[in-house]
A and B are shown apart, each in its own frame.
Chain A
Amino acid sequence: MPIKLTEEMLSQLPDARGHFGAYGGRFVSETLMDSLMTLEKEYLRLKKDPEFQATFDKDLAHYVGRPSPLYLAERLTRETGGAQIWLKREDLNHTGAHKVNNTIGQALLAAFLGKKRIIAETGAGQHGVATATVCARLGLECHVFMGAEDVKRQSLNVYRMKLLGAEVHSVQSGTRTLKDAMNEAMRDWVANVDDTFYIIGTVAGPHPYPLLVRDFQSVIGRETRQQSLAQAGKLPDALVACVGGGSNAIGMFHPFLMDESVQLYGVEAGGLGIDTGQHAAPLAAGRPGVLHGNRTYLMEDENGQIAATHSVSAGLDYPGVGPEHSWLKDIGRAHYVSVTDDEALAAFRHLTRVEGIMPALETAHAVAYAIKLAAEMDPEQVVVINISGRGDKDIHTIAQLDGIEA
């Protein structure tokens, strides 16, 4: 039975040391502690500063194009034959994904802190593109770290980042994916801590990152709440979002945590199947440990070495997850499920054909699960899928699977 959440409980998550229950915290080498404490102090001050919030809101409206629509997918609903399926169109944001909500916020923080050099890690490249974009706009030097494997499978986004003036560093260490990109970004930060701001793209990392990324992304859930009441005449019955690090999911879920009637579903990458071990689903099949500055569910071997992950989608190919998701799992407030590569690919094709909306492969995981879920629900019920990103960047991957050289 899930515990009853109160306003007071939520206001203390994370607590003063960045903990969400047993998760979160600040597990970094000493060199970074001073910067993290300064960032925390400044962010907590700016969070209450009307001028900072007004600037953030204005940028979201006029640069990102918010609010993003909540769209009733009528044909998908009809073909599924169950609950109404609504799509929260984060794919329509400038740069094509939810990631930009957070990079706008963190770039503002960097400006307030007087930092001129920006670093970021990226998996699918969406966060890298969103970071390069805000850096171009603000005239900041931008370095993006990306695993060599991801550089290969997301070449379009690599080129976009370069066009935007960012330097893309291909990371050759470890498994050459998102986790290694994050290691390398941390190493760069330690060496350049005086003039550099690290824009982390997900709700993981050391405190205060899981807090501030969640706050910046919560605009998704706040809008969805209002739009659902106005357009569907009720709160949603279920929210579905994909979970890699979990930033789009937490942004969608957080404003609904107190609404007990709203079921929350986070969809992890099941890869080739959870039982094959070839997946990226730490909440489904991992255990708590410490990586990248926070305690959270991880995929690791019996000796505590981080395991290699597999997902067709680069953005979900990560062995950890944001600490707040670990907490939501343990208290039973959110359900964490997984879908396989094949199910996600089928959902990609299906949504493209029946709605003319091509989702990112990450997002396709949420679509796949939502279709299964909606089919079991009643027509008066409302399911909202967070369409966290558009699929243009994945066309090359899909074409290769189809045997076409795009």
Chain B
Amino acid sequence: MSRIAGVLNTLGEQGRKALIPYITAGDPHPDQTVDLMHTLAAAGADIIELGVPFSDPMADGPVIQLACERALKHGTSLRQVIAMVRAFREADQHTPVVLMGYLNPMEAMGFEAFADAAADAGVDGILTVDLPPEEADDVAPLFTARQMDPIFLLAPTTMDERIRAISEHSSGYVYYVSIKGVTGSASIDVEEVARKVANVHRITALPVGVGFGIRDAETAAAVGKVSDGVIVGSVLVDTIARHQSDPARLQQALTDLLSPMREALDGLAS
């Protein structure tokens, strides 16, 4: 069983929901990323999604675009991101790490070399935004063979037959994109999400994480109630942007954001 499945199983048995924060690696500076990952874990993260910066983040809104630009200004490469995970693993062998990004940096590194290096560093899952399962035949098996979970997106526009096919290609969890839009855009319609996630649950036994549009404890609880976990990204990245010049303050600000979400999610269990 992968580290991701282990964590999600345990949470499931306890009736708890996963809190999955996202930050972009190398933002605001590559030297800070490992510390920020530890901050996220200490504030209650069950899984960390670590964004691999890309020059052309087509699926991301302005907040994460700017994070990519900040990270790339310091030359953050995929190899460096993998090294950050390795450094994180020295002190934390428990919290699963999912690399989230676009295909081209992986393709440039070479899929096999990437899979080897990522698995060796302690990466647990790979989510490639612009890689649908139809194009993943040569790539996803490399991850699976190294006990890393290929995680795919489901969208409000995904029809039932596709939900089934995508779930069959996925392990760990599936990521339900709650809104039609880029990251950090509109606010979500919780009732609509509830209906859609219930439908996904009917089709697959995999845990369903929901992301896009979760900004505070209230939305986290509302979405957590109908799913297996919430993914929180843009609001954290926005906080990083606002406190980029003051690392101590930044860690506190991230903790202040995540802790109430953790509490709200755990409040659902009791």
A interface with B by C-beta (< 8 Å): 17, 25-35, 173-174, 179-180, 183, 186-187, 190-194, 288-293, 298, 300, 302-306
**A289 vs B260: C-alpha distance in the bound complex, in angstroms?**
42
Are B135 and A30 in contact, with the CB atoms below 8 A?
A: no
Q: Which residues of A have CB within 8 Å of B102?
A: 290
Q: Which residues of B have CB within 8 Å of A291?
A: 56, 104
**A33 vs B107: C-alpha distance in the bound complex, in angstroms?**
21
Task: Tell me whether A27 and B131 are in contact in the complex, defined as CB-CB below 8 angstroms, given that A191-B185, A304-B109, A306-B104 are known contacts.
Answer: yes
Are B108 and A302 in contact, with the CB atoms below 8 A?
A: yes
Are B130 and A33 in contact, with the CB atoms below 8 A?
A: no
**A372 vs B263: C-alpha distance in the bound complex, in angstroms?**
72
Are B135 and A304 in contact, with the CB atoms below 8 A?
A: no
18 A–B contacts from the bound complex (CB under 8 Å): A17-B134, A25-B134, A26-B135, A27-B103, A27-B131, A30-B152, A33-B155, A34-B157, A180-B56, A183-B56, A187-B59, A190-B180, A194-B180, A289-B104, A289-B107, A291-B56, A304-B107, A305-B55
**A25 vs B105: C-alpha distance in the bound complex, in angstroms?**
18
Q: Which residues of A have CB within 8 Å of B162?
A: 33-34
**B77 in contact (CB, < 8 A):** yes
**A293 vs B102: C-alpha distance in the bound complex, in angstroms?**
11
Task: Tell me whether A303 and B108 are in contact in the complex, defined as CB-CB below 8 angstroms, given that A34-B158, A174-B56, A183-B58 are known contacts.
Answer: yes
**A25 vs B156: C-alpha distance in the bound complex, in angstroms?**
22
**B177 in contact (CB, < 8 A):** yes
Are A30 and B155 in contact, with the CB atoms below 8 A?
A: yes
Are B135 and A31 in contact, with the CB atoms below 8 A?
A: no
A303, closest chain B residue (CB): B77
A120 to B: closest C-beta gap in Å: 16
**A26 vs B78: C-alpha distance in the bound complex, in angstroms?**
23
Are A193 and B107 in contact, with the CB atoms below 8 A?
A: no
Q: Which residues of B have CB within 8 Å of A27?
A: 103, 130-132, 135
Q: Which residues of B have CB within 8 Å of A290?
A: 102-104, 107, 130
Q: Which residues of B have CB within 8 Å of A33?
A: 132, 155, 157-158, 162
**A31 vs B58: C-alpha distance in the bound complex, in angstroms?**
12
- Having A34-B157, A191-B182, one finds 14 other A-B pairs with CB under 8 Å, namely A27-B103, A28-B130, A30-B153, A30-B166, A33-B157, A33-B162, A35-B157, A174-B69, A186-B58, A186-B59, A289-B108, A303-B78, A304-B105, A304-B109
The digit string for B93-121, where 1 denotes a CB below 8 A from any CB of A, is 00000000011111111000000000000
B61, closest chain A residue (CB): A187
What secondary structure prevails in chain B residues at the interface with A?
loop
B140 to A: closest C-beta gap in Å: 14
Are A193 and B58 in contact, with the CB atoms below 8 A?
A: no
Are A173 and B130 in contact, with the CB atoms below 8 A?
A: no
**A305 vs B104: C-alpha distance in the bound complex, in angstroms?**
7
Q: Which residues of B have CB within 8 Å of A293?
A: 130
B65, closest chain A residue (CB): A173
B106, closest chain A residue (CB): A304
Q: Which residues of A have CB within 8 Å of B130?
A: 27-29, 290, 293
Q: Which residues of B have CB within 8 Å of A35?
A: 157
**A109 vs B153: C-alpha distance in the bound complex, in angstroms?**
28
Nearest first, the 6 closest Cβ-Cβ pairs linking A and B are A304-B108, A304-B105, A31-B155, A191-B181, A30-B153, A303-B77
Task: Tell me whether A179 and B106 are in contact in the complex, defined as CB-CB below 8 angstroms, given that A30-B132, A30-B152, A34-B157 are known contacts.
Answer: no
Q: Which residues of A have CB within 8 Å of B59?
A: 29, 186-187, 190
Are A34 and B159 in contact, with the CB atoms below 8 A?
A: yes
B72 to A: closest C-beta gap in Å: 6
Are B108 and A30 in contact, with the CB atoms below 8 A?
A: no
A304, closest chain B residue (CB): B108
Are A174 and B55 in contact, with the CB atoms below 8 A?
A: yes
**A288 vs B104: C-alpha distance in the bound complex, in angstroms?**
9
A191 to B: closest C-beta gap in Å: 4
Q: Which residues of A have CB within 8 Å of B152?
A: 30
**B143 in contact (CB, < 8 A):** no
Q: Which residues of B have CB within 8 Å of A292?
A: 56, 58
